[in-house]
Chain A
């Protein structure tokens, strides 16, 4: 331990800025009649995402998971007829530490019944303009941004084509044998595309390849177009800032995706997690057609503060917690 480890890592000016952004966020949603909600941080189930690790604990001897996102609980509220809702909450992801990651961080997540991903992109755009005072966004389909920056069709290219483009761009895996198409897409996005996006204004990328569908609705391609996942991400000043979906509402498809995730987790040698039957029951009852988005609030503060490390906008990041 160093002598000054008791001190906050963020300056008081950064913490005041953080508080102002929280106020502006709440004002934005209050003005639009979106209800602020709170959902459990300790849940009996958790996300099944193959690449997100939940922290485990117990309550009175029964297993609990620190939530990696409030998504599953918020969808239960939507199914119960909540109407538009938002939440600012702490989430936890094991193993995520770095200049842009802290194992616990703050998510701003909101849902809009009646909107698709394009409608929600409009609102995220307004939110960023209002809260950060930035310029209006630009939008580009995932396929367009890949063609432009990497010169490859992300929906059609096979794994070896993506690998050869990645290597030509200086992205070499130390052991490429274990890389799937999905891994190459992620690496190309992070290494060859993201650094060029959102330098002047937020950059929205939408309509993702099917492997990256997560909990987004799939739209069948018409007239030779590929099927796409109605998902979007927001990139701004070198950061992946937000991730949204035109939400999947079909309960049996939801169950299939959970099971596929659990199968991927098994293949990757990751811990199994209980399937969230209550969330599936909510979808069976009926999730209204809606779009939802999760925005990394600490990263929003990083942009406003022009900070290059997440640790400088968090009072006590993990190495001082």
Chain B
């Protein structure tokens, strides 16, 4: 059962349920006109859509907490509709729709260790590992002499991601990539 929080317990980082969606409180401001009603103005980020919202509470009003858990999980496979993950401790499996997986889909290879955010035990967000190693499936032919890596070209990876790589990269090579920026880090021997 979710806890209820009153305005005087509001703090940045608090996870709450607003209009049935899980949100995290990012800013709290106490507003009290000299003679008027006291308000608490709050900025929140919707954890499902990442949209930033603003709401005003009368002091003393309450909001329901959100049951949010972040767990390390292994990506198993994708069927027609869902991505499937497994908690390596409990062996429990979870499925996530495309909206929850979002851009993480570009980096997910089977057996990848991800952080999965659960709201009421439902996957709402998937964070891929910071670095992944993926094979190049499509790229223009490499230019051998260009070991300095000046210039560049695009390459398509086995997960479907298209990234900017140095000219010397060839199809079949394995690359290390930073998933936060989508940048090429290096070749994997």
Contacts and interface: CB of A to CB of B under 8 A. Distances in A.
A190 B33 contact: yes
Task: Please tell me the size bucket of the interface on A.
Answer: 20 to 34
B55 A240 contact: no
B30 A243 contact: no
Interface in A171-216: 171-175, 178-179, 182-183, 186-187, 189-191, 212, 214
Given A95-B59, A173-B56, A49 B29 contact: no
A186 B30 contact: no
Interface string B31-48: 111111111010000000
A218 to B, nearest CB: 16
A64 interface: no
Contacts, number: 74
Contacts of A190: 31, 33, 36, 39
Contacts of B56: 171-174, 187, 191
Contacts of B31: 98, 187, 190-191
A51 interface: yes
A101 interface: yes
B11 interface: no
A181 to B, nearest CB: 12
A186 B41 CA distance: 13
A214 B35 CA distance: 8
Given A175-B61, A182-B36, A191-B41, A99 B30 contact: yes
A52 B35 contact: yes
Interface in A230-253: 233, 240, 243
A89 to B, nearest CB: 16
Interface string B64-103: 0000000000000000000000000000000000000000
Closest 9 CB pairs of A and B: A98-B30, A186-B36, A186-B33, A174-B55, A190-B31, A243-B34, A183-B37, A173-B56, A174-B57
Given A101-B30, A191-B41, A212-B35, 20 more contacts: A51-B32, A51-B38, A95-B59, A98-B29, A98-B31, A100-B32, A172-B54, A172-B56, A173-B58, A175-B58, A183-B36, A183-B58, A186-B37, A187-B39, A187-B56, A190-B31, A191-B56, A240-B33, A243-B34, A294-B34
A19 B162 CA distance: 65
Given A174-B63, A186-B36, A97 B30 contact: yes
Interface of B: 8, 18, 29-39, 41, 54-59, 61, 63
B114 to A, nearest CB: 33
A99 B31 CA distance: 9
Contacts of A97: 30
A182 B55 CA distance: 18
A186 B33 CA distance: 7
A100 B30 CA distance: 8
Interface string A154-176: 00000000000000001111110
A140 interface: no
B33 A189 contact: yes
A172 B53 CA distance: 9
A51 B36 contact: yes
Contact of A96 (B29, B32, B54): B32
A183 B57 CA distance: 11
